[in-house]
């Protein structure tokens, strides 16, 4: 067999579309160019997808775009949930969106093994909350910053003030979430030109209803993102 060419990561900022519930729609979003597709495994969320339905969605994404990462979003999982969170369930990333401590992240890393990427979401309510980012370096693979909203873990449409993020340069890749849509994306990234995020995460900003994405809005967001993407390998 001839040697395979090295896989080149897509240009940054990457795009994650979160809260998908329908396999055909998830596949369509992946074909449009999303780099990651998120599935919500938090029962209180209006975008929650039952465990029995997740495998079909992740399989549809993989068939449509093999490079697109399947992301399972959980909050404060206990050990009894580990069998449905580990490798072999269709996702390649586990996103921790609760109050998981650094120690809990280390425990999950050890329990779930190195095959699974681990991302930690930090809910930011004030600039001082950004200081906790460095503590997670070494126990997770990436961070995701989302706006803090009482009793809601994401998909709220609330934004982190961009001026809070000036100079934010953590020791690991990070994603910006919270209130992004095709109209707000460019102002946010222009405001972070000196230290841009590695990826952006959208949910409600491209929806018709919770869990139902508008493909035209996804395409418009990708169009808005294109000028900011820089190929790291040129």
If you search the block for the tokens 């979401």, which residue do you land on?
Answer: 121
Residues forming a β-bridge with 137: 140
Predicted pLDDT at 9: 66
Number of structural domains found in the chain:
1
Residues forming a β-bridge with 143: 120, 174
Dihedral pair phi/psi, residue 57, rounded to 5°: -70, -45
Predicted pLDDT at 106: 97
Q: Which domain holds residue 127?
A: 14-228
Residue 218 lies inside a defined structural domain of this protein: yes
Distances (CA, A) of 25 to 30, 31, 105, 227: 9, 10, 31, 25
Residue 7 lies inside a defined structural domain of this protein: no
Q: How far apart are CA 185 and CA 9, in angstroms?
A: 22
Predicted pLDDT at 155: 46
Predicted pLDDT at 150: 52
Residue 4 lies inside a defined structural domain of this protein: no
The one-digit pLDDT tens for each residue of the chain (234 residues) are 444 444 556 789 999 999 999 999 999 999 999 999 999 999 999 999 999 999 999 999 999 999 999 999 999 999 999 999 988 899 999 999 999 999 999 999 999 998 999 999 998 988 999 999 999 998 999 999 988 655 554 445 577 899 999 889 999 999 999 889 999 999 999 999 999 999 999 999 999 999 999 999 999 999 999 999 864 444
User: Alpha carbon 185 to chain centroid distance?
Assistant: 16
Predicted pLDDT at 149: 58
Predicted pLDDT at 156: 52
- Do residues 118 and 105 touch, judged by C-beta distance below 8 A? yes
Residue 1 lies inside a defined structural domain of this protein: no
Residue 233 lies inside a defined structural domain of this protein: no
Predicted pLDDT at 234: 40
Predicted pLDDT at 1: 44
Residue 189 lies inside a defined structural domain of this protein: yes
Residue 59 lies inside a defined structural domain of this protein: yes
Residue 221 lies inside a defined structural domain of this protein: yes
Q: Which CATH number fits the domain that encloses residue 152?
A: 3.20.20.70
Predicted pLDDT at 151: 57
Q: How far apart are CA 78 and CA 60, in angstroms?
A: 28
Tokens of 228: 């900011």
């Amino acid at each position: 067999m001839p040697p395979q060419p090295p896989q080149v990561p897509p240009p940054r900022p990457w795009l994650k579309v979160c809260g998908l519930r329908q396999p055909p729609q998830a596949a369509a979003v992946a074909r449009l160019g999303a780099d990651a597709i998120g599935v919500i495994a938090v029962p209180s969320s209006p975008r929650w997808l039952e465990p029995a339905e997740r495998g079909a969605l992740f399989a549809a994404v993989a068939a449509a775009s093999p490079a697109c990462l399947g992301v399972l979003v959980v909050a404060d999982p206990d050990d009894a949930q580990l069998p449905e969170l580990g490798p072999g369930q269709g996702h390649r990333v586990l996103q921790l969106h609760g109050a998981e401590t650094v120690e809990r992240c280390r425990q999950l890393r050890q329990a779930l093994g190195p095959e699974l990427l681990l991302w930690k979401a930090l809910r930011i309510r004030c600039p001082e909350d950004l200081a906790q980012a460095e503590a997670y370096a070494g126990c997770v693979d990436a961070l995701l910053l989302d706006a803090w909203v009482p009793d809601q873990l994401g998909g709220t449409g609330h934004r982190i003030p961009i001026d809070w993020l000036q100079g934010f340069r953590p020791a690991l890749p990070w994603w910006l979430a919270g209130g992004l849509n095709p109209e707000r994306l460019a102002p946010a990234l222009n405001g972070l030109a000196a230290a841009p995020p590695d990826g952006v995460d959208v949910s409600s900003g491209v929806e018709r209803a919770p869990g139902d994405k508008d493909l035209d809005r996804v395409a418009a967001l990708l169009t808005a993102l294109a000028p900011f993407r820089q190929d790291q390998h040129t």
